[in-house]
Amino acid sequence: MDEAEIIRVIEQKIDENDYNDCYLVDLVYNQPKNHLTVYMGSDSGMTLAKCQAFSRHIESYLDETLVLGEKYELDVSSPGLDRPLKLVRQYHNNIGRDLKVWLEDGTTVRGMLLDVNEDQIVLKIKKGRKKQEEELTISFDQINKALVQIKF
């Protein structure tokens, strides 16, 4: 599989007016099953219609070039809550939500995402027995993994 070429095809679609708020989050290729999963994000929310448009566009390329052969599986979706945040843009889209962050030193932190810049995030965490709120700044190079948490 030529990952760079598939990324180029996705970027072609992103350049279209209706899709310029979309971005590629990740490509996952399972070679034994010949299954390509494309995770897309969107600043305005990834809709089923957007996923279908990208799926058709990528499928057209795959059918024309046969880079994955004649029989393959393709899924295009938003990353979902079970997939870690990978891009700064994803963090921006999740300001105000709770995150669970696994740090490189092995510790975990939970808190509400308050702010994001190119180098770091700021979480509002509750600390101590009295659960006093304080802000914690974490640089991206300290983050091993971060997941959005759902409140029920």
- What pLDDT digit, counting tens, does each position of 39-98 carry? 999 999 899 999 999 999 999 999 999 999 999 999 999 998 889 999 999 999 999 999
Q: What is the token pair recorded at 152?
A: 């029920």
Percent of the chain with pLDDT over 70: 100
Range 5-20 average pLDDT:
91
Using the predicted structure, report yes or no on whether residue 24 has a pLDDT greater than 80: yes
Q: What is the CATH code of the structural domain delimited by 88-149?
A: 2.30.30.100
Using alpha carbons, list the distances in angstroms from residue 114 to 34, 123, 124, 139, 143: 40, 5, 7, 14, 16
The residues spanned by each domain of the chain are: 3-77, 88-149
- What pLDDT digit, counting tens, does each position of 81-109 carry? 889 999 999 999 999 999 999 999 999 99
DSSP 53: H
44-50: Cβ within 8 A, 24+ apart: 46/22, 46/77, 46/78, 50/19, 50/22
The model's pTM is: 0.83
**CATH code 3.40.50.300 for 3-77:** no
